[in-house]
A and B are shown apart, each in its own frame.
Chain A
Amino acid sequence: ELKVEQNPLFLSMQEGKNYTIYCNYSTTSDRLYWYRQDPGKSLESLFVLLSNGAVKQEGRLMASLDTKARLSTLHITAAVHDLSATYFCAVYSGYALNFGKGTSLLVTP
């Protein structure tokens, strides 16, 4: 059974600071997705990582994938309040996405 672990699960950070969210998974997969969810809302696709070494950036967020280490990271640069949300990584298992528990991010002044 594919297991996806995110850490930290809760993160409070100050505006302007940098931080990284980690996503580890238990079995081989070369397809990993990052989603954002605002409270009470749906999931918004952020990044699709389809190969080892893939790196994608959008604004203050950058995601990377190391399939050999079974690790993806979501790096936040110079955080702003608008980034406060829950971030999920999801690993494709052959027929469905397996989600981590999510990282609840709160950016404070």
Chain B
Amino acid sequence: DSGVTQTPKHLITATGQRVTLRCSPRSGDLSVYWYQQSLDQGLQFLIQYYNGEERAKGNILERFSAQQFPDLHSELNLSSLELGDSALYFCASSVDSGGNFGAQYFGPGTRLLVL
């Protein structure tokens, strides 16, 4: 158990819908990262927040957005869902802003299925 929690574990929804994925980082970690894992794209970095502020963006679609709240939990919002958005979404956390000095610790993931 990495100490990173994610809810829900599974999510089934329809195309065009909007969902919210939630992540709580390890105690003491200020950075939260979101990754998408799919068979065709592999593991892709989406976005990073550090202490409430957006720090970096990766291959995140405009239909997706995220935020980090004062208690450091983070939410990833996915809207106008398409079949291709079906994937495993991981949240990771680290104590520093860039994971420079240690690993990023991954949560259990949310498996999203868009029908």
Contacts and interface: CB of A to CB of B under 8 A. Distances in A.
Interface in A51-109: 88, 90, 92, 94-102
Nearest to B1: A42
Interface in B16-71: 33, 42-45, 48, 55-56, 58
Contacts of B109: 42
B2 interface: yes
Interface in B81-108: 90, 92, 98-108
A14 interface: no
B98 A95 contact: yes
A50 interface: yes
A26 interface: no
A41 B58 CA distance: 23
